[in-house]
Amino acid sequence: MSKHLITHLRHVGIAMPDIERQLSFYRDIWDLTAVAGDTGVHFLAAEGSPEQYVVRLRKDDLKRQDLIAFGAASVADVDILAGRLIEGGVRLVHEPQPLGTPGGGYGVRFFDGDGRVVEVSAGVAAREHRKIEARESVPVRLSHVVVNSPAPEATVDWYVRHRSTTSPIPTSWTSGARPTR
């Protein structure tokens, strides 16, 4: 088992009514590269990232965050995480299984305390990428994701309670004091 079961942020999935406008934004403004998209779901990669994609877009009548995906160091870590989540009463979307998205891999999906779908995967094939030059204005990777919550304190509490089964909690919070445990 790795020291931390979650190693990095892999990608985010977003749904919205005006898919063409969003595709244009991510391609033309963010300079992401379309790498797949034949089933109504579009996958966009950052040129400096070995991740297969960093943004997944799909058309839906409602704007929503579909998914937050993290990486794990190994298949064993995904299995350990899933076991701990189940023991903690966390509802799974699906148990660990092979993934059918670009790059494949093996992952588990579950709901966080606000009902957001979270995926943790390992064994995803690395994408060929290039070294981004100093001062080159293109994304290297996805470094963070912003989530909204009707009850921010409850969201923080959920992640604190499950921090041994999810990513480490940051030592500082932009929204205020961090709860202690």
Residues 69/11, Cβ–Cβ less than 8 Å: yes
d(CA 14, CA 22): 10
Q: What is the dihedral of CA 80, 68, 169, 144, to 10 degrees?
A: 140
pLDDT in tens, 74-122: 999 999 989 988 988 999 999 999 999 999 999 999 999 999 999 999 9
Secondary structure (3-state) at 175: coil
Long-range CB contacts (within 8 A, 24+) of 36-44: 36/102, 43/101, 43/102
Q: Considering the entire predicted model, what is its pTM?
A: 0.84
Q: Is residue 32 part of a domain?
A: yes
CATH of the domain at 53: 3.10.180.10
The most confident of the ranges 1-10, 34-43, 113-122, 163-172 is 113-122
pLDDT in tens, 15-46: 999 999 999 999 999 999 999 877 789 999 99
Q: Count how many domains the chain has.
A: 1
In a domain, 166, yes or no: no
Q: Tell which residue, 70, 63, 142, has the closest CA to residue 112.
A: 70
Within-domain flag for 31: yes
> Is 93 contained in some domain?
yes
Domain that holds residue 60: 8-125
Q: Is 41 exposed, middle or buried (0-12, 13-18, 19+ CB in 10 A)?
A: middle
